[in-house]
Amino acid sequence: GIQVEQSPPDLILQEGANSTLRCNFSDSVNNLQWFHQNPWGQLINLFYIPSGTKQNGRLSATTVATERYSLLYISSSQTTDSGVYFCAVPPTDSWGKLQFGAGTQVVVTP
């Protein structure tokens, strides 16, 4: 099945810093989603981005489908950005299912 790898596994940021999270996937996809899991466990949709670039406030994401990777940018980080960031893609033989990466744990310190 499709493999999804995220890096780095852990990231510690000082408030105000910028960072880039990466998601590599092993096969072509027509759907890629980024999620943020807050410290209470709630998974929040950030982006649906099978290709191209999208921005939402201080967050932006870029997916280069032909090269099988996606990047999530966090600018001017805040403590509320802490949590785990997941990317997820559907396996090629799937219908509506998502294969999640292992996530990047982000801690933003004041």
Partner 1 sequence: SQTIHQWPATLVQPVGSPLSLECTVEGTSNPNLYWYRQAAGRGLQLLFYSVGIGQISSEVPQNLSASRPQDRQFILSSKKLLLSDSGFYLCAWSVGGVKETQYFGPGTRLLVL
Contact residues toward partner 1 (CB under 8 A) are: 30-31, 33, 35, 40-43, 45, 48, 50, 84, 86, 88, 90, 94-98, 100, 102-103, 105
Q: Which of 98, 87, 99 is nearest to 20 (CA)?
A: 87
On the question of a cis peptide bond just before residue 39, with omega within 30 degrees of 0, the verdict is no
Closer residue to partner 1 (CB): 75 or 100 = 100
Closer residue to partner 1 (CB): 10 or 18 = 10
Closer residue to partner 1 (CB): 50 or 69 = 50
CB 25 within 8 A of CB 13: no
